[in-house]
Amino acid sequence: MATVTENALEKRHQIATQLRRWILQMTTDAGSGHATSSLSAVELMAELFFGAHFRFDVEHPTAPNNDRLIFSKGHASPLYYALWSAAGQVAPDRLENYRQFGSLLEGHPTSRFPFTEAATGSLGQGLSVGVGMALAAKLDQLDYRTFVLLGDSEMSEGSQWEAIQIAAEYQLNNLVGVIDVNRLGQRGETMYGDDLQQYKRRIEAFGWQTVVVRDGHDFTELSEAYHRAAASTNQPTMLIARSVKGKGVSFLEDESGWHGKAIDDAQLETALQELGQPASEVRGELSMPNDRHPLSVLPADAEPIQYPAGDEVATRTAYGDALKRLASQYPEIVALDAEVSNSTRAEFFAESYPDRFFEMFIAEQNMVGAAVGLGQRGKIPFVSTFAAFLTRAFDQIRMARHSEANVKFVGSHCGVSIGPDGPSQMGLEDIAMFRTIQECVVLYPSDAIATQRLVERMANHRGISYLRTTRGKTPVIYDNDERFEIGGSKVLRRSDRDRYTLVAAGITLHEALAAHSILQNEGIAARVIDLYSIKPLDHATIRAAADATEMIFTIEDHVPEGGIGEAVLTSLADHPTPVRSLAVRKRPLSGSSERLLDDQGLSAQKIVAAVKAVADLN
Amino acid sequence: MATVTENALEKRHQIATQLRRWILQMTTDAGSGHATSSLSAVELMAELFFGAHFRFDVEHPTAPNNDRLIFSKGHASPLYYALWSAAGQVAPDRLENYRQFGSLLEGHPTSRFPFTEAATGSLGQGLSVGVGMALAAKLDQLDYRTFVLLGDSEMSEGSQWEAIQIAAEYQLNNLVGVIDVNRLGQRGETMYGDDLQQYKRRIEAFGWQTVVVRDGHDFTELSEAYHRAAASTNQPTMLIARSVKGKGVSFLEDESGWHGKAIDDAQLETALQELGQPASEVRGELSMPNDRHPLSVLPADAEPIQYPAGDEVATRTAYGDALKRLASQYPEIVALDAEVSNSTRAEFFAESYPDRFFEMFIAEQNMVGAAVGLGQRGKIPFVSTFAAFLTRAFDQIRMARHSEANVKFVGSHCGVSIGPDGPSQMGLEDIAMFRTIQECVVLYPSDAIATQRLVERMANHRGISYLRTTRGKTPVIYDNDERFEIGGSKVLRRSDRDRYTLVAAGITLHEALAAHSILQNEGIAARVIDLYSIKPLDHATIRAAADATEMIFTIEDHVPEGGIGEAVLTSLADHPTPVRSLAVRKRPLSGSSERLLDDQGLSAQKIVAAVKAVADLN
């Protein structure tokens, strides 16, 4: 183990002083920011960066073996930016723009700052992203390591324990967590204060190597701790370091009431005097990563699966088929599932590509965070569970957008049509949830062929997308060579005499088609649109239907709020058209799929009744 | 400690046989359901109910000292219903209706079944509800105990560890968890299989008493375990019981592939033969609870707080003021906060009523589950954190509706108007999220007086409601005696010449009022509506504005999807009117509140520009 020379120590102390000066200066300039939470972790990060532990080629930031650093305690962003400044990557005068409009140095790190691995600020998420990056390294046999700086307060988030449990399960010895135990949370002392043993006991019980650092400001002790982490052969390592919040400034040290506050100009002057001046131009050197690159895999091609017209195939099954088929063309595709792969059909992929499938057990928050991490390392992660249970990870999904993540979500068992299992298992809010995510694509296929094509689109689309699948079987209604586009739709029934338009997707499309036939027999012509792309939405086709018919009926197995009905209304906001939304408005119960759809007014018969109720008036 | 007599043992075995027969019969009748997951827990629950551990007055189900039982593994509903049948509370022939449309015996328990304490089926939620019920018992000095049946698979949910950590923190010795370690999850073996020590090590590290039950089908061992739980003085207790999935039926025992499946009629016949017939009419007796009742508190009255017109008061501060004031009138009010009470202002209540405030630390999922439990025991829980972080508990909020819970949510720091902290801290999806919850009330006040009145409304309203508060100060614009109703709105500016309507709420209402003045000076008359009640929504006022003006502009510090704009569009769906939605459409950044509102087109100037762009066309 390398011992730290006097000379190196002295330089590290000077860098620490420089970091503290920058942290205080930038937060006082901004008039806000988490200065004290940054000061406590200065040595933890200075030793990591400049003690030859963190290997990063600043000339080639995308080099595959560059180590990864995630600030899970994103509020320590002043330290984060200052650290990269000390590494020569941010001009010190740019630090003045911290928190200013347009600056890349935002209040909490987002992907707009070039070195950000994952946006943080919602606590308890960074470790899951680290798990994903560590899994990617194992998969590609790369020797980079992933470091995650954690706050002590955020250890109370259950998502942390999901990440800790999975990291141990996958023996991620290339993952290192660093808990900055500065004792104080936002509004006072944390649950365990400075009792390091509380953290050690729990984390060891979950199967990690732990290294207790009694003084988180002692470079020598920290250096040894990082070396012990590097030596782990089959366990992730957690450094549990006692630190002092506000360290280095007498009137801030270990004091409550300073969380998220900047000091004023006079206090700054005092603080800078206390800290003293470092030797001018302190810069640190990062050590270089290994330059071995991953073997590139030659993709083989796979023929599309042919589904005979009229066959009954559940779209969740078609998803499993499609993902398995695409796997050979896209070596970057990986799949994660929350212990329900036999229901979501991710198992088809898992059986053929076990090394690229990650069983994440029943822990959806960590599954999503890990998928973000895998995506940031060049994978194309498909994440599946019941649509209802994706709500468990809404905060992680929300944050993924600020990471500009590349993650494909697949929610099965949507709507009341799942039947007897009852409301707890029904995805009834998922369209609304994913629609709120900026630039998120929301897809809802009605048959196996549409599903196969849309899964291809998701694989080719960079960003966040969501596919909603159905539990029960639905007939194949499209030709095998039919094309489906993000933002597209299909007009399945149309005539020059159409009085009404039925807009549906997924399970309700088949009810709408049946309703169309009944209405036709009664002399009422209706247009039927398959709105398989809910976001973005095919405005032109909706608008044409609005112009051509008297009223639009939207039919969806989802609550009315935030669903297909409101998406259509928004599409017509400046082009007013009567719209009637048929959706899940009553309390959902257990029962047969048919009975529940009818109970909610979504069956062919109820659609017909709704249309005729209007037709009779006119 | 009571030893189990031969006679009692024999009767308990007969009850177990009866339970197994019912479990198999009802799932085969239904053609679905989780028979094997129920069979593994038969003795765990039969001993609890009929071994004199569970005290419940069936004549008085609402008796305050009745013990509480929550099936966190809600898929074991066949056992749950059979258990109450064995206790004489469900006629055995009613079990035939299991999973049938309209039956109270749903696939997973909901509040429609009278003995359900909390709807379950989304795993990892029952223990949090139990924490809330145990906290309520401590608060009211009632000696009832809360029991939670847990599955081994669901222990991987982070929410479990949030609940475990808080239960230890509050020394809830009146809370007993029972883990049914049957080794098999839905798609295969769980992370730890039948290694009971894995659970013991983790749970003890988190501060619980653990009792390992080597044979979860042995009444004598179970009886001793429950007695040890009852003897705990300052720790919650977890029974960790090894069991056999499918226990009692040779071809189901410890077999994969039977999860959530019913056996067919022929298999049922074989199984019933194996089990044999119990003595006819097996019924168990529940022991009686203590009949001591809580002291009733005489409410004192508190004068409303007067806010002088023009004063600048943040609505989050008014929330803190209002909750503190109401506390004396409503002894049932309790407050929970996720370690940000100094930001949400729940601290005002905490300082005055420390015994009725629960610091839940940074663990939102458990906070929400615990609030559900407190509400089910007669409390009026107010739950606060940043609006953005309530997304962390969307699944618990969704399930609360199926429990018919009485919980008041308060989300602070909503919208881009929070400023420099950046997007991770901005609640931009919260209106959409709460609107998806059936019957949920969504309120968004714009000043201190409206906030005070709406908090009163929330306290008086039974059900789920959400209050959205703003970080920055806003001027007091209402008189202190102004009335605010759920479902109401305020027309603040109107004339006979109004050409446009500005619909806003919260922070943007003040921008709309400023825009109104500017437009007025330019000769453009506009109506301004404060839509403080987003759900339910004041259709009459919106409709009147639609009739009276050419176009409605909605202005909201929230994404367009699922927000105020779509709520207004839905209100006018059958009464088409041009609506233009001004909302957060660009990527939110850090910066000043004013700059960010302007950047998103929500400032008075941008509202004016949007209106004039339309006016110039006409």
Question: Is there a domain that residue A445 lies in?
Answer: yes
Q: Are residues B544 and B412 in the same domain?
A: no
Q: What is the pLDDT of residue A3?
A: 63
Q: Are residues B504 and B399 in the same domain?
A: no
Which residues in chain A (111-150) have CB-CB distances under 8 A to chain B? Answer: 112, 119-124
Question: Is there a domain that residue B196 lies in?
Answer: yes
Distances (CA, A) of A207 to A201, B195, B590: 10, 14, 39
Concerning whether B281 is annotated as a catalytic residue, the answer is no
Q: What is the pLDDT of residue B62?
A: 87
**Lowest model confidence (mean pLDDT) among A116-120, B223-227, B303-307, B418-422:** B303-307
> pLDDT, tens digit, for every residue of B245-260?
999 999 999 999 999 9
- Residue among B215, B25, B39, B175 nearest B105 (CA): B25
What does the pLDDT average to over B506-525? 98
**Of the candidates B159, B205, B435, which has its C-beta nearest A562's C-beta?**
B435
> pLDDT, tens digit, for every residue of B485-511?
999 999 999 999 999 999 999 999 999
A294 touches B: beta carbon within 8 Å = no
Q: Are residues B149 and B222 in the same domain?
A: yes
Q: Are residues A360 and A466 in the same domain?
A: yes
Q: Are residues B438 and B512 in the same domain?
A: no
What does the pLDDT average to over B541-547? 98
Give CA–CA dist A332/A142, Å, rounded: 15
Q: How many domains does chain A have?
A: 3
- Residues ≥6 apart with Cβ < 8 Å to B103: A590, B94, B97
Q: Are residues A424 and A504 in the same domain?
A: no
Chain A nearest-CA residue for B558 = A436
Inter-chain residue contact A578 with B574, CB threshold 8 Å: yes
Question: Is there a domain that residue A38 lies in?
Answer: yes
Residue A295 reports pLDDT greater than 50: no
Distance from CA of A442 to the nearest CA of B (A): 12
Q: Are residues B385 and B469 in the same domain?
A: yes
Q: Which of B475, B504, B538 is the C-terminal boundary of a domain?
A: B475
> pLDDT, tens digit, for every residue of A155-174?
999 999 999 999 999 999 99
Q: Are residues A253 and A330 in the same domain?
A: no
Residue B300 reports pLDDT greater than 80: no
Distance from CA of B297 to the nearest CA of A (A): 30
Residue A71 reports pLDDT greater than 80: yes
What does the pLDDT average to over B150-160? 98
Q: Are residues A464 and A500 in the same domain?
A: no
Please report, to the nearest 10 degrees, the dihedral formed by the alpha carbons of residues B471, B477, B481, B487 taken in order.
-70
B562: chain A residues, CB-CB within 8 Å: 432, 435-436, 561-562, 566
Q: What is the pLDDT of residue A299?
A: 56
A31: chain B residues, CB-CB within 8 Å: 420
> pLDDT, tens digit, for every residue of A473-498?
999 999 999 999 999 999 999 999 99
Q: Are residues B88 and B222 in the same domain?
A: yes
Q: Which of B475, B501, B532 is the C-terminal boundary of a domain?
A: B475
Which residues in chain B (375-414) have CB-CB distances under 8 A to chain A? Answer: 388-389, 391-392, 394-395, 398-399, 402
Q: Which residue has the higher pLDDT, B5 or A487?
A: A487
- Give the CATH number of the domain where residue A572 resides: 3.40.50.920
Name the band, by pLDDT with cuts 50, 70 and 90, for residue A301.
low
Inter-chain residue contact A395 with B398, CB threshold 8 Å: no
A201: chain B residues, CB-CB within 8 Å: 205
What does the pLDDT average to over B343-353? 98
- Give the CATH number of the domain where residue B107 resides: 3.40.50.970
Q: What is the pLDDT of residue B375?
A: 97
B217 touches A: beta carbon within 8 Å = no
What does the pLDDT average to over A340-365? 97
- Residue among B298, B281, B285, B317 nearest B447 (CA): B317
Question: Is there a domain that residue B421 lies in?
Answer: yes
A421: chain B residues, CB-CB within 8 Å: 32, 107-108, 121
Domain that includes residue A581, residue range: 491-617
A102: chain B residues, CB-CB within 8 Å: 589, 591
Record the tokens describing residue A232, joined without a space.
Answer: 């782990």
Given a contact cutoff of 8 angstroms between Cβ atoms, the answer to whether A469 and A306 are in contact is no
Name the band, by pLDDT with cuts 50, 70 and 90, for residue B1.
very low
Q: What is the pLDDT of residue B299?
A: 56
Q: Which of A250, A275, A300 is the C-terminal boundary of a domain?
A: A275
Record the tokens describing residue A479, joined without a space.
Answer: 């030709």
Question: Is there a domain that residue B288 lies in?
Answer: no
Q: Are residues A504 and A410 in the same domain?
A: no
- Residue among B422, B6, B392 nearest B219 (CA): B6
Residue B563 reports pLDDT greater than 90: yes
Question: Is there a domain that residue A444 lies in?
Answer: yes
Given a contact cutoff of 8 angstroms between Cβ atoms, the answer to whether A400 and A407 are in contact is yes
Question: Is there a domain that residue A534 lies in?
Answer: yes
Name the band, by pLDDT with cuts 50, 70 and 90, for residue A304.
confident
B122: chain A residues, CB-CB within 8 Å: 388-389, 392, 424-425
Give CA–CA dist B155/A438, Å, rounded: 33
Question: Is there a domain that residue A582 lies in?
Answer: yes
What does the pLDDT average to over B411-433? 97
Q: Are residues A413 and A528 in the same domain?
A: no
Given a contact cutoff of 8 angstroms between Cβ atoms, the answer to whether B109 and B126 are in contact is no
- Across chain A, mean pLDDT equals 95
Which residue of B343, B436, B554, B572 is the best one to mutate when testing the A interface, meaning the one whose CB has the most A CBs within 10 A? Answer: B436
Which residues in chain A (43-102) have CB-CB distances under 8 A to chain B? Answer: 74, 99-102
Question: What residues does A395 pair with on adjacent strands?
Answer: none
Note the pTM of the prediction, 2 decimals: 0.96
ipTM of the complex: 0.96
What does the pLDDT average to over A325-346? 96
Q: Rounded to a whole number, what is the distance in angstroms from the first to the last CA of chain B?
A: 87
Catalytic residue among A47, A117, A364, A511: A364
What does the pLDDT average to over B443-447? 98
A33 touches B: beta carbon within 8 Å = yes
A129: DSSP letter: H
Name the band, by pLDDT with cuts 50, 70 and 90, for residue A283.
confident
Give CA–CA dist B163/B165, Å, rounded: 5
Q: Is A97 left (phi over 0), alpha (psi -120 to 50) or beta?
A: alpha
Give CA–CA dist A485/A532, Å, rounded: 9
